[in-house]
Structure 1
Amino acid sequence: MEGSTIETNATTAVKQDKVLAKEEWIMKWEQKNIAFHQEHIHRLLEKNMDLLLNNRTNLRIFFPLCGKAVDMKWLADMGHSITGVDVSEIGLKDFFIEQNIPYVEEQVLEIPGAKVFKSLSGNILLYCCSIYDMCRVADKFDCIWDRGALVAVNPCDRERYANILTSLMEKECRYLLVIVSYDHTKFGGPPFYIPDSELDKLFGSFCCIKYLEKADALKERQQKWGLDYFYENMYLLTPKGQS
């Protein structure tokens, strides 16, 4: 297991107890402060597609905190059904516009104030609401691709997030999760640092957790945060009891 319990008392540590409000995330999209968005298919997803799909077709795949992830169209073009959720209406609309996908907008009766954007083909549904409300409208999923979601959730909300995600997993669900590792004494997030011990605390009672690999993701953006290393770590989570 790599990493250690998050430091909060050491004088050299950067506290990770900050809380970003929904409005702050929406403002990031309004101001186009979205360096977290990736313009290309995520390399770890592409490399580990076989593990996600597991020789299955026509899957229901969930994208938590999806933004305008291009991975959604890539998987939809393979014949899978995509459901995403994000608080930013801008990001969701941008996805359809930038990917040249015709869509319609509807109110979500089960969630006051929420909207859903649907591709005319019917295989992409993107909800504009809190992820914590998704249990009101979503069925269970065959796959989850979580890159940039868990690490963006306020640390105080992680347990709630994990409970929602596990409640949306089918018995044979395969959940690919990417979290990040860096010197958390120098940067407080987001993306937030999550040690393996906490990952096990969040998901270990429900899921088997398998570490797959790590990839060097250090760029100028992270160097400006004062970091000299930054890794993306990928895990495969499967409900306990899977054959």
Structure 2
Amino acid sequence: MDKEFWHRKWASNRIGFHMTEVNPLLLEFWSALSPQREEQVLVPLCGKSEDLVWLASKHDKVIGVELSEIAVRSFFSEHFYTPLVTQIDSFHHCYEFDELQIYQGDVFTAPLDGVELIYDRAALVSMMPSQRDAYAQRLRTLLKPGGRMLLITVDYEQTELAGPPFSVGSQQIQQLFQGMKTTLLCRKEADPEHPKIAQQKLSRFADEVWLIEA
């Protein structure tokens, strides 16, 4: 993850990856985790996602991690939330409001405890290939025994387009989470009108939804 790349994205408001509504794949497949209200949810690289609000309506504690201070402050201001802000160290701040707790800082070093549930929509696919192993290991250490993760990835011919989001195929998912149970819940192939096909001329593009179980 190139930190300066993402800081520049947020500073210039070039955030085409941000969804203004709750991700429909989250709505459709979150129940596959058999989630319980008391189970804590971690959302790495959460940005200012509307998914946080939806998850907070279902769980007693939702923990986000986001590098950009602009994104974190925008999330709370756009929802008219006034968070309690605590400086953890020189590199991390914690923003808290009701069920929500967002750490502003590096997902690799944020002071996180183990959780039962992880929701990753845009984190793994934003990691450069050289960082994926370290990131997957970080998730492994944070997921409690018996924990579950809903992971959303994209699959396309990487030579046709420079990421992010980067293509992460099924074979790499198996490698990254070797020893854990990996289940492909859904693969949604893009039709010819999809922007990735129509505008960026990719030969194929698909969203994949994975259930990863510790």
Question: Same fold, TM exceeding 0.5?
Answer: yes
Matching residue of 1:189: 163
How far apart, in 1, do the equivalents of 2:82 and 2:95 lie? 10
- The residue aligned with 1:86 is 66
- Do the aligned partners of 1:187 and 1:226 also contact (CA within 8 Å) in 2? no
For 2:200, the equivalent position in structure 1 comes to 225
Larger radius of gyration: 1
Which residue of the other structure, out of 71, 81, 93, is the alignment partner of 1:115?
93
Q: What secondary structure is seen at the aligned counterpart in 2 of 1:48?
A: helix
Q: CA deviation at 1:238?
A: 0.3
Which structure 2 residues correspond to residues 58-97 of structure 1 after superposition, within 5 A? 58-97=38-77
Q: Distance in 1 between matches of 2:35 and 2:23?
A: 20
1:97, distance to aligned residue in structure 2 (A) = 1.3
Structure 1: how far apart are the matches of 2:189 and 2:22?
16
Distance 1:132 1:225, change over 3 A: same
Show the counterpart of 1:158.
132
Alignment check: 8 A CA contact 2:196 2:202 kept: no
Q: How does 1:25-40 map to 2 (within 5 A)?
A: 25-40=6-21
Partners of 2:30 and 2:150 within 8 A in 1: no
TM-score for the superposition, normalised by structure 2 = 0.92
Q: Does the alignment pair 1:141 with 2:115?
A: yes
Structure 2's unaligned 5+ residue stretches are: none
Q: Which has the higher contact order (CA 8 A, sep 6+)?
A: 1
Match of 2:188 in 1: 215
Q: Percent identity?
A: 28
Alignment of 1:174 with 2:148, yes or no, is yes
Q: How many angstroms apart in 2 are the aligned matches of 1:88 and 1:113?
A: 11
CA distance in 1, matches of 2:207, 2:72: 25
Divergent runs of 4+, >6 A: none
SS in 2 for 1:74: helix
Q: CA deviation at 1:35?
A: 0.6
What CA distance in whole angstroms lies between the structure 2 residues aligned with 1:150 and 1:79? 23
Unpaired segments ≥5 residues, structure 1: 1-19
The one-letter amino acid of 1:132's match is F
Residue 221 (structure 1) shift: 5.6
- 1:57 is displaced (CA, Å) by 1.9
